Amino acid sequence: MTRWVLHIDLDQFLAAVEQRRHPELAGRPVVVGGNGDPAARTVVATASYEAREFGVHSGMPMRLAARKCPDAVFLPADNPAYEVASAEVMAVLREFPVVVEVIGWDEAFLQWDGEDPEALARAVQAEVRARTGLSCAVGIGDNTLRAKMATGFAKPGGVHRITAHTWFATLGERPTETLHGIGVKTARKLAELGIHTVSQLAEASPSAVGDRLGPRMGPYYVSLGRGMGRTEMEASPYVPRSRSRETTFPENLEDWAAVLAEVSALAARVAEDVAAEDRDVARVGVKVRFAPFLTRTRSVTLPTPTRDPGVLAAAALEVAGRFRRDRAVRLLGVRAEFVDDT
């Protein structure tokens, strides 16, 4: 028996949920984000594959998405509906003889010991489709990283396998930012060390990379280049690590008093979400997007974990006070990070 890890990734999840409950939208370009107003200064949460053909993608300003695909159907995000749909899928996965580790609304790892993981992957896809009407891609690997990277080759709706034997043949010559966990900024720092590809990263000295990117993160990035990951899944239910709220303003805020008032209002909404979770908060963060599109985040660790709305609001205002005040603000966000109970 061989230990396999399967990464289940639901295709165009938010858009697919909307198309499921609005069958007339099937096959049409659908864009989900903000309040659904394409003229609002919000960003795309998910675009259907039909919309992606026009160049629309997650994180794109809604206004730009509307210019690229004016015939798209723009819908507001409906988080409760997505949570219900996610729970349906995860319930299906748990009926298989696997260990299920949920890592988000639309993602889960499966741990399975057997000899034909592709057969299991196709069975999972068929059952999810039959029971929920949603499609998923399945990445197969001998650990979590390789399985997750394989999913990128499987989407949409396919199955792909990457193991230690095929890791470098598949990814070795690709740029380092191809790897899950390495962004553009980190890739730029690696490039300064002469590390441009996955193979070069795998061959690099962990201590040398650590000298540039930190003693903890340097060796971690090298391990990514070598395709290292976990083989043991945790079957505990998915628990959000934080709750956050944010808003994009129709017009930039120039008055800092107005900024602080909005931070207080966001903190109050976050406090309501925290109360619903019935968990204590260990850290509070604030995100500020200055005009035209410069984003900065700051956070503070609370002296004592709490769910007290007044304490959370005071912490958010304290963090907000650390930002510069000489630029107009187009977006604000407040985040509460829960105590890690693991």
Domain ranges of the chain: 2-11+80-162, 14-78, 170-225, 242-338
- Active-site positions? 107
- Do β-strands 136-141 and 242-253 pair in parallel, antiparallel, or remain unpaired? unpaired
CB within 8 Å of 85: residues ≥ 6 apart: 13, 17, 20, 105, 132, 134
3-state helix, strand, coil in the chain (%, to 5): 40, 25, 35
- Residue range 2-11+80-162 forms a domain whose CATH class is alpha beta
7's tokens: 């990464």
CATH 3.90.1150.10 fits 14-78, yes or no: no
The burial of 90, by beta-carbon neighbours within 10 Å (0-12 exposed, 13-18 middle, 19 or more buried), is given as middle
- Residue range 242-338 forms a domain whose CATH class is alpha beta
How many angstroms separate the CA atoms of 230 and 60, rounded?
33
- What is the chain's pLDDT, residue by residue, as a tens digit (342 residues)? 799 999 999 999 999 999 999 999 999 999 999 888 888 878 899 999 999 999 999 989 999 999 999 999 999 989 889 999 999 999 999 999 999 999 988 999 999 999 999 999 999 999 999 999 999 999 999 999 999 999 999 999 999 999 999 999 999 999 999 999 999 999 999 999 999 999 999 999 999 999 999 999 999 999 999 999 999 998 876 677 899 998 888 889 999 999 999 999 999 999 999 998 889 999 999 999 998 888 899 999 999 999 999 999 999 999 999 999 989 999 999 999 999 765
Q: Assign a CATH topology to domain 170-225.
A: DNA polymerase; domain 1 (1.10.150)
pTM to 2 decimal places: 0.78
